[in-house]
Amino acid sequence: METTTNSTHYKVTRKFTSGILEGLEHTEISTVSFPVGFECKQPIGGSPYVITECKPAPAPKIRLVCNECGRKFSVSPNAADPQCPKCGGVDWDVL
């Protein structure tokens, strides 16, 4: 099985400027890029915030389990033919 991804991931940090979350910062990995300094003054169902950081982030790892020895391991989403690091097996399932 060949696993590839074309989407770029971004580490986005937002600082809440008012409301119940005022002063808090929240960081998340997103496939959406935001301009730094973007101010969302009236979000639907939340507190207003400003984007303080948006930079490319590595894609999240894919968790697999080997069907031959039972070991759980992670691989890059760009891995063509992942092998178990313990037994070298190529029979695995995605967790």
Q: What is the pLDDT of residues 19-40, one digit of tens each?
A: 999 999 999 988 889 999 999 9
Residue 34 burial (10 A CB sphere; 0-12, 13-18, 19+): middle
For 39, counting Cβ atoms within 10 Å of its Cβ (0-12 exposed, 13-18 middle, 19+ buried), the class is exposed
The pTM of the whole model exceeds 0.95:
no
Averaged pLDDT of the chain: 85
CA distance linking residue 90 with residue 45, whole number of Å: 46
Q: Above 50 in pLDDT, residue 14?
A: yes
Share of the chain above pLDDT 90, in %: 38
pLDDT exceeds 70 at position 5: no
Considering only residues 95 and 34, tell me which one the structure prediction assigns the higher pLDDT: 34
CA distance 54 to 44: 21
Supply 82's token pair: 């992942």
